[in-house]
Chain A
Amino acid sequence: MGKRVIQRFNHLIMCLILCLASLLSISIWTGEANATNPMMPPLLEGKQRDCLDCHRHPNVETNAGAFASQSFCLECHQEETCIKIVNKNKVSMKVDPEEIRKGRHAFVGCISCHEDVARSPHQSEKGAQCLRCHPFHNEGGDIHSPHLRVRCQACHSVSKFVSLDKKTNRVRLAHVNDKGMPIGLTDHRLENTNRDDFCVRCHTQGNKVGAAHAVLPSKSILCMMCHNASLTMGGPVFWVALILFALGVLITLHFWFQGSVQGEEKNLHRKIALASDGLWGTIFSRDFFPLLKTILLDVILQRRLLQESVKRWFIHSLIFLPILFRFLLSVFTYFVSRIGSESSLALVLIDKNGGFTAFVNDLCGILILIGIVVAAVQRIFIKPSHVISESRDNIALLLIGVLIFLGFLAEGARILMTQLPPEIGYYSFIGYPVSRLLSSMEIQWTAVYPYLWWGHAVVGAIFVAYLPFGKMRHIFNTPLTLLLNYKMK
Chain B
Amino acid sequence: MVKLEDWLQKAKRLTLRALFCGLFVTALLNTQSPLAATAPSEEGGWFVNMGHFAASAHGTFSCEDCHGNMNQGKTMHPDSNAPTFLHADANRLYDYKRCKACHKPSYEQYLSGAHANALKKEQKEPSGKYDKLPENKKAPTCGSCHSAHYAKAHLSRVEMGRQTVSVCAACHPAQAATYLENYHGKAAVNLGDKNAAFCTDCHGAHRCVSLKDKEAALNACRRCHPEAKEGFAQVVIHPTTQDPSEMNNEKRSHVALIRVVTVLMAILAILIVGFFYGHSFVWILRELHERLRKHK
Contacts and interface: CB of A to CB of B under 8 A. Distances in A.
Interface string B28-54: 000000000000011111111110000
A121 B86 contact: yes
Interface string A40-62: 00100000000110111110000
A118 B86 CA distance: 10
B63 A306 contact: no
Contacts of A122: 86-87
A57 B47 contact: yes
B80 to A, nearest CB: 5
B90 A119 contact: yes
Give the size range of B's interface with the partner.
35 or more
B79 interface: yes
Nearest to A39: B78
Give the size range of A's interface with the partner.
35 or more
A288 interface: no
Contact of A55 (B23, B46, B75, B87): B46
Contact of B292 (A36, A57, A303, A374): A303
B296 interface: yes
B279 to A, nearest CB: 14
A242 interface: no
Given A56-B50, A120-B89, A307 B76 contact: no
Interface string A301-313: 0011011011101
Interface string A287-324: 00000000000000001101101110110001000000
Contacts of B211: none
Contact of A57 (B9, B48, B81, B282): B48
Nearest to A427: B26
Given A36-B79, A381-B4, A118 B46 contact: yes
B288 interface: yes
Given A51-B70, A121-B86, A37 B81 contact: yes
Nearest to A315: B12
A377 interface: yes
B47 A38 contact: no
Interface in B2-31: 4-5, 8-9, 12, 15-16, 19, 23
Interface in A106-128: 111, 115-116, 118-122
A310 B49 CA distance: 68
Contact of A52 (B63, B70, B76, B288): B63
Given A51-B63, A121-B87, A370-B12, A37 B79 contact: yes
B88 interface: yes
B39 to A, nearest CB: 9
B71 interface: yes
A363 interface: yes
B41 to A, nearest CB: 6
A382 interface: yes
Given A36-B76, A55-B48, A57-B48, A120 B90 contact: yes
Contacts of A313: 285, 289
Interface in B51-76: 63-64, 67, 70-71, 74-76
Contacts of B289: 306-307, 309-310, 313
B80 A37 contact: yes
A55 B296 CA distance: 83
Contacts of B4: 377, 381-382
A56 B271 CA distance: 61
B5 A382 contact: yes
A121 B78 contact: no
B46 A119 contact: yes
B12 to A, nearest CB: 6
Contacts of A51: 63-64, 67, 70
A306 B50 contact: no
B293 interface: yes
A56 B64 CA distance: 14
Given A37-B80, A38-B76, A381-B1, A120 B86 contact: yes
Interface of B: 1, 4-5, 8-9, 12, 15-16, 19, 23, 41-50, 63-64, 67, 70-71, 74-81, 86-90, 93, 282, 285-286, 288-289, 292-293, 296
8 contacts: A39-B80, A51-B63, A52-B63, A55-B48, A57-B47, A307-B296, A314-B285, A382-B1
Given A121-B86, A310-B286, A313-B285, 7 more contacts: A55-B63, A57-B49, A306-B285, A306-B292, A307-B292, A307-B293, A314-B285
The 6 closest A-B pairs by CB, nearest first: A307-B292, A57-B47, A122-B86, A51-B63, A119-B45, A38-B76
